[in-house]
Structure 1
Amino acid sequence: MRPYILAETNWKTLQNASFDLAILPWGATEAHNYHLPYGTDNFQVDAIAAESAKQAWEKGAKVIVLPTIPFGVNTGQTDIYLDLNIYPSTQYAILNDTIEVLNRHGIKKLLILNGHGGNDFKSMVRELGVKYPDVFICVSSWFHTLDRDKIFDQPGDHADEVETSLVLHLTPELVLPKEDWGNGKEKKNKISAFNKGWVWAERKWSEISEDTGTGNPKLATKEKGEKCFKDVTAKIGEMLYDLSKVDRSDLYI
């Protein structure tokens, strides 16, 4: 039993417990090229949250990891078989109910640890921050902590060298043989402004990728995945410790 993982602990342990910070990992269930499991985002964010919390806990932080939410926003993939979509309004309802519980039980800090590019919590955090002014709500996407070019040769966006390496490290038994990997070739928008990032529209995934991947996974290795995992969890673990210890009323220098 890991006492910082809510799903594994018990009432005997928790009846007199007190935590400063809750971590809510949030993933998605969707196709990841031909070779990676539909639960890739969930396996990754769940493992990263657990290891990061372990490191913070061992330094003395009072943190608790909530069960991973396995469904994300996949509105651009509605025609990809069994890509499971929930709407942002559903995410808001889940967050609202979760924060209501935390607030009632005196946990006044929440980190949403995101593991899926289609999830975007900023507007929800703004609204819920007004509704629950006593709860400090923040969000981080684990993949934004990563300096991709220091570890990977051809990082992409989805089911790429990064994600394939991580899954090879975390759950190699769920990865198909290399001859089954698609090349993750992504079609770009004909209008350059979209490719430069200053105009945005949701992409219909079946129109931009034949294998549902965006980014070539061919150079992925479990060794790269292990290094990535260690780097990411060290950085997030340190942040969790700092966040759990900081005085909410004294955040700024």
Structure 2
Amino acid sequence: MDYETIRLDIDNGLALMTLNRPEKMNALNTQMRAEMAHAVRHADEVARVLAITGEGRAFCTGQDLGDRASAGEVDLERTLRDEYEPVLRAITGAGIPVIAAVNGPAAGAGANLALAADVVIASQSAYFLQAFSRIGLIPDAGGTYTMPRAMGLAKAMGAALFAEKISADEASAMGLIWESVPDDDFDSHWRARARQLAEGPTLSYKSIKRLMRASLGNSFDDQIALEARMQGQCGRSRDFREGVMAFLEKRAPKFEGR
């Protein structure tokens, strides 16, 4: 697929998807959502980690309202079901770790796109904004699912009702994201994090993702049964054998992702 609104670069197991509408602060339109869904699925097939970032000064400012206006009356339910959900399901269902490298403002659906990733790393000057109530809407793109689980109901409710900016430092302190990084160090830092995952035990990461997400709906008994089953699978992997041998031989492991 030839991409026009994003870039996808794959190098030695690391796939980097860059949202590439800087003149629109990487706001999302129909074409962009389709390209993103395709790129995530492709990366899941050929890479060992996927990082998502934005070109220019923003990560993603959500829906391109100008795009909606040009299309006339819009069926928001259909847009979410047919255009947003494929992207979100591709990200959350990917068998490889997904990092959101939030380089600038992440607003509306752009904020919730980032929060759908497995790990969110933000530059210190970035912020997250649930802007929906400012135009008479509700948080969508999975926001009403991820926010209460990550930051608690009280904080999530306030973020949605007041539609105020949450700085990267605040987001990190309240557990909404993994970490906030000084701007000067941001690019090298998230790339090092991504490279670490690209060289790690991919089957283990896939299992961790599935277990963590399943735990939100499982009973304790169901969860420990799933843990046992998936640990058995990991224990039969080449990466587990390599990890043990590297430990015994006091050297760095060389994981193959199998």
Q: Name the TM-score, length of structure 1 as normaliser.
A: 0.28
Q: Higher strand proportion, which one? A: 2
Higher relative contact order (CA 8 A, sep 6+): 1
Q: Higher helix proportion, which one? A: 2
